[in-house]
């Protein structure tokens, strides 16, 4: 066990002082009793003493105070907790072709919109991360249940540069491979969701990256971004299209599904089929409330016993 505010543990020095005060009070009580010269008469008047029972409420009371003082230091325990585990990596195309305006206001915004809707609809137990790629790939948000982190990463994406779909997939697989193993030596289910226009011109080929995903047991679902049959012209004069065939091939090769951006509402089918597994995961958990509650319970029990047996608090 560790503590967020360990300096407050110095307050525990009050406990032995209170215990010493209690012992001195008991000795003083016995000293007063000895002043009676006729001890036989005293025993007849007072009757049998409370014995050990007298000390039980104060001891419980001191235990309660100890727990409350410990709770002030904000104790943290590392606990093994059962959790549903599954993960989704969003792989976002941020190449220059995503600046095309065949979708309004442009392909990049259409991709961001689809990605935001997908993240917001994910079940709570699913971890989500974000990878972006142009001529190279980068990790924008690591796997986490923090939806705001993923959404911020999506909102910060900007379109520029070449297109290397395979590099984006490989970067996502590398990050998924870093997930911890459970007690059985297995990783939780995972998927990759690739949002792109499907036209790759740099880096490792999409087919080779899809083979790596299939070998790793990671399915890749793809989302086509762009208008079917259109070839919009960029400011550079380059014309770009939508290669749905390439995106379908990636999905089929890995056991995933292909979706067209205009039908992105069907993305719920991706996480509906994702599944999950329950794993024991160690987490640092603050147990201040638990320790404080235990302390309050001790104080309550000590007070009730004192009232019940002696008509007074300890």
DSSP annotation of 232: P
Closest CA to 199 of 219, 170, 222: 222
Residue 184 is predicted with a pLDDT of: 61
The phi, psi pair for 188, rounded to 5°, reads -70, 160
Query: With a threshold of 0.95, does the pTM exceed it?
Result: no
Distances (CA, A) of 94 to 36, 145, 165, 182, 226: 95, 24, 10, 34, 13
Q: What is the pLDDT along the chain (314 residues), one digit of tens a residue?
A: 788 888 888 888 888 888 888 778 777 766 655 555 554 554 554 445 556 677 787 788 788 888 888 888 888 887 654 445 678 888 888 887 777 776 677 778 877 887 887 788 777 778 888 998 887 888 898 888 888 998 999 888 887 777 788 888 898 898 888 876 665 666 667 888 888 876 777 878 888 888 988 888 888 888 877 766 666 556 665 666 677 788 888 888 888 888 776 654 555 555 455 444 434 455 677 888 888 888 888 888 877 877 676 666 55
| Triad 142, 147, 150: Cα angle to 5° | 45
Q: What local confidence, expressed as pLDDT, does residue 280 receive? A: 43
**Is residue 99 within 8 Å of 107, Cβ to Cβ?**
yes
- pLDDT of res. 219: 84
Find, among 135, 38, 44, 122, the residue nearest to 88 by Cα.
122
Reference 308, options 300, 21, 44; nearest CA is 300
Q: 256: how many CB neighbours lie within 10 A of its CB?
A: 25
3-state class (DSSP) for residue 283: strand
> What DSSP assignment string belongs to 174-203?
HHHTTSPP-TTS-PPPEEEEEEE-S---SS
- CATH homologous superfamily, domain 82-280: von Willebrand factor, type A domain (3.40.50.410)
Question: Is the CB of residue 120 less than 8 Å from the CB of residue 162?
Answer: no
Q: What pLDDT score does 38 carry?
A: 53
**Tokens linked to 83:** 């959790």
Look up residue 280 and give its two tokens: 């024991």
Positive or negative torsion for Cα 49, 51, 55, 57: negative
The predicted structure's pLDDT at residue 15 = 82
What is the residue-wise DSSP string for 149-173?
HHHHHHHT----S---HHHHHHHHH
pLDDT at 207: 87
pLDDT at 47: 47
Tokens (6 digits) for 307: 């009232």
**Cis peptide upstream of residue 105 (ω within 30 degrees of 0):** yes
Q: Give residue limits of the domains in the chain.
A: 2-77+287-310, 82-280
The answer to whether 258 touches 220, Cβ cutoff 8 Å, is: no
pLDDT at 279: 44
CA distance 284 to 270: 31
Cα–Cα distance between 26 and 32 in angstroms, integer? 10
**CA 299 from centroid of its chain's CA atoms:** 34
């Amino acid at each position: 066990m560790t503590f967020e505010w360990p300096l407050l543990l110095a307050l525990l020095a009050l406990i032995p002082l209170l215990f010493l005060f209690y012992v001195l009070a008991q000795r003083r009580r016995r000293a007063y009793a000895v002043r009676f010269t006729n001890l036989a008469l005293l025993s007849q008047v007072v009757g049998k003493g409370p014995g050990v029972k007298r000390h039980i409420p104060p001891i419980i009371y001191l235990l309660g105070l100890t727990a409350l003082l410990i709770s002030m230091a904000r104790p943290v325990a590392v606990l093994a907790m059962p959790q549903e585990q599954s993960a989704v990596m969003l792989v976002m195309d941020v190449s220059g072709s995503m600046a095309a305006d065949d979708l309004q206001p442009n392909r990049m915004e259409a991709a961001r919109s689809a990605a935001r809707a997908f993240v917001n609809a994910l079940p709570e137990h699913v971890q989500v991360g974000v990878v972006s790629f142009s001529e190279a790939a980068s990790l924008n948000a690591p796997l986490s249940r923090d939806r705001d982190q993923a959404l911020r990463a999506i909102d910060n994406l900007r379109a520029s540069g070449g297109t290397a779909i395979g590099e984006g997939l490989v970067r996502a697989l590398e990050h998924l491979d870093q997930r911890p193993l459970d007690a059985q030596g297995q990783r939780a289910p995972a998927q990759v969701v690739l949002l792109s226009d499907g036209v790759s011109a740099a880096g490792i080929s999409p087919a080779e990256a899809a083979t790596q995903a299939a070998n790793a047991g990671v399915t890749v679902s793809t989302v086509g971004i762009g208008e079917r049959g259109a070839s919009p012209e960029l400011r550079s004069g380059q014309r770009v299209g939508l290669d749905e065939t390439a995106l379908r091939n990636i999905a089929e090769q890995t056991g995933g599904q292909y979706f067209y951006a205009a039908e992105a509402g069907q993305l719920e089918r991706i996480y509906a089929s994702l599944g999950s597994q329950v794993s024991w995961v160690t987490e640092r958990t603050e147990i201040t409330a638990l320790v404080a509650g235990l302390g309050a319970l001790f104080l309550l029990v000590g007070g009730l016993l004192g009232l019940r047996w002696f008509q007074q608090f300890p």
